[in-house]
Structure 1
Amino acid sequence: MMSVSDRTREIEAPLVDEWYEWPTPVDWPFYLRLLRQRGDSGVPRMVYLDGSLLLMTPSLPHEERKERLNRLVHEVAVGCGIPYRPTASTTWKRRSRRGGVEGDHTYYLANEPTIRGKREVDLRADPPPDLAVEVVYSHDVTRAIEVYRRLGVPEVWVATERRFQILAPDRPGRGRRYREVGRSVGFPFLSAEEIADRVYRDAPDGELRWAIELRDWVRETLVPRLDAGGRAP
C-alpha cells in the first residue's frame, strides 16, 4: 500500500507551476499528516476544502509578483506608521470549517495588537489574518477564497497575470460572501487601481529602482493623504 510519503514523492515532478488535485477524498487527519510530512518548507502549498486537496509549486513569475505585493504592504505599513505583523504563508486551518489554506502572504493589521507576541495563533480563539494575498498564474483560486471566507478573513487581494482585485465581505456576520471593492479595507486610503499600477508596472532599471520609487510614492502621496484624513480616490 502506498504511504503518504510515497504519494508525496510521486507528485513532486509535475508540480512545477501547476496545481495537482489529490485523486481521492482526503479526511482531516490525512491532511494533517501531509502537513507534518512536508514540514516547514512550505512547498508544495496546500488548499484543503471539504475533503478535496490541491497542491502547488509556484513559478518564478508567481514568486516575483508575490514579493512585489509583499514589498508594497511593508512600505505602506511602515511609511504610514500602521502596526502590522506579516505571517507569510502560514497554514490557516479549522476543522470545524472543513478548510485549510496557505496564502502567498497573510498579514495582521487591525488585529495585530491581539496576536502581538504570540508564538502560535489558534483560530478557535484568535482572529484570522486581516489580509490575505493570492497570486494566480495557472490555478483556480476559488477554493482558497472559499476557505478564507469560512475562516472570516476580512480582505483578500487576488493578482492574476493581468488583473488585480480586492475582495471583501458583502455584509457582517454569517452567510456573507466576498465582493469586489475599489479600495483596501485595512488601508482605506489605498485604492485597488493604485496597487495594480505599482505592482504591474515594468521595471526597466531593475527592482531596486522600482522599490525606491515605491517608497518615494508612499512618502510623497500616501502619507500626506493619510495625514489629511483622506480615503483612496
Structure 2
Amino acid sequence: MMLLELKRIHVPPGQRVLVRDVTWQELETILEDLGEHRVARIAYDRGILEIMAPLPEHEYDKEIIGDLVKALLQELNTEFISLGSTTFKNQAMAQGIEPDQSFYIKNESKIRGKKRLDLTVDSPPDLAIEVDITSRTHPNIYEALKVPELWRFNKGKLQINVLQNGHYVESQQSLNFPQFKLGEAITQYLEQSITGGRNATFKAFRLWVQKQIQQG
C-alpha cells in the first residue's frame, strides 16, 4: 500500500514530502522500487522518510562544486572515488542519506572495488557536499554516520564543517585539503563559471591550485 501511494506522489522541483513511521525494511523496499536512476533524493531519520526533488540551479551548483573537488584531487595526484548521491545508510542507527556529492579520499583504498557499501562495517565517505537551496541538509544524520567533513553551500557561501566529538564545528580549514583556503576559492570559481564559462573557469582553477602547491 505504501509503495502504491508513493508512486502516485508527484514532488515538484524544490519541494519535499515527509512519510512517517517507515520501517527499515520498508525503506529498503522503497529504495529498490524508486531505483538508482532518479532525480528525487531521500533522507531517513529513525522512521521519518523525506523525499525531495532538487531545483535546476541546485543541480548546477552541486555539479560544478563536485567537479572543482575532482580537479583539485587530480592536481594533487590523489586517488579518490566519487560516489555522487549514493545512498549511505546504517541500519543499527536507523538513519540514511543521499548527499549531493560524496568522496572517498583518505579511505579510498578501503572501498576500492566494492559494489555495495554498508556503513555498519564500511567507512563513511571522507567528504559529503550539500547544496542548501531548498534547506534539505540533515547534519544530524551525517553526524550519526560519522562523516568526517560536510560542506554546505548556502546563499552563495561555502561552509566547511568538521566532525569533533561527534558534532560538526564550522571551520576555516578543510580536513581533506588543509593547505587550501577553499571556502573562498570554491565560491569564487563557482560564480566565475556562471559568467565566464565552465572550461575557462576550470582552467583558471587548476592554475590557482598549481600556484598554491608551488608556494607550499
TM-score by length of 1: 0.86
Distance in 2 (alpha carbons) for counterparts of 1:116 and 1:73: 19
The aligned counterpart of 1:231 is none
Conserved 8 A contact 1:86-1:105:
yes
2:77 alignment partner, SS class: coil
**Could you tell me which amino acid in structure 2 is paired with residue 181 of structure 1?**
S
1:158 aligns with 2:156: no
**Could you tell me which amino acid in structure 1 is paired with residue 201 of structure 2?**
W
Report deviation, 1:117: 1.9
Q: Which segment drifts farther, 193-202 or 44-53?
A: 193-202
The aligned counterpart of 2:188 is 197
Report deviation, 1:202: 5.4
1:181 aligns with 2:154: no
Report deviation, 1:60: 0.9
Number of residue pairs the alignment of both structures matches: 215
Distance in 2 (alpha carbons) for counterparts of 1:107 and 1:32: 23
Distance in 2 (alpha carbons) for counterparts of 1:76 and 1:190: 10
Distance in 2 (alpha carbons) for counterparts of 1:120 and 1:27: 21
Conserved 8 A contact 2:89-2:118:
no
In structure 2, list runs of 5 or more residues that go unmatched: none
The aligned counterpart of 2:143 is 149
The aligned counterpart of 1:5 is 3
1:88 alignment partner, SS class: coil
1:128 alignment partner, SS class: coil
Q: How does 1:73-84 map to 2 (within 5 A)?
A: 73-84=69-80
Conserved 8 A contact 2:88-2:117:
no
Q: How does 1:31-180 map to 2 (within 5 A)?
A: 31-141=27-137, 144-171=138-165, 176-180=166-170
Report deviation, 1:4: 3.2
Report deviation, 1:177: 0.8
Report deviation, 1:182: 0.4
Distance in 2 (alpha carbons) for counterparts of 1:140 and 1:116: 29
Report deviation, 1:6: 2.5
Conserved 8 A contact 1:88-1:104:
yes
1:212 aligns with 2:203: yes
Q: Output one character per residue of 1:169-224: Cα deviation in whole Å (capped at 9) or x when no partner.
A: 123xxxx21010001111111222222222234532322222222222222x2321
Conserved 8 A contact 1:135-1:158:
yes
**Could you tell me which amino acid in structure 2 is paired with residue 7 of structure 1?**
E
Distance in 2 (alpha carbons) for counterparts of 1:119 and 1:194: 33
Conserved 8 A contact 1:19-1:139:
no
The aligned counterpart of 1:19 is 16
Report deviation, 1:69: 0.8
TM-score by length of 2: 0.93
Cα RMSD (Å) of the superposition? Answer: 1.6
Report deviation, 1:59: 1.2
Distance in 2 (alpha carbons) for counterparts of 1:8 and 1:139: 22
Inter-CA distance 10–149: structure 2 relative to 1 (3 Å threshold): same
Distance in 2 (alpha carbons) for counterparts of 1:37 and 1:202: 36
**Deviating runs (4+, > 3 A) in structure 1?**
200-203
**Could you tell me which amino acid in structure 1 is paired with residue 3 of structure 2?**
S
1:203 alignment partner, SS class: helix
Give the share of equivalent positions with the same residue, in percent. Answer: 28
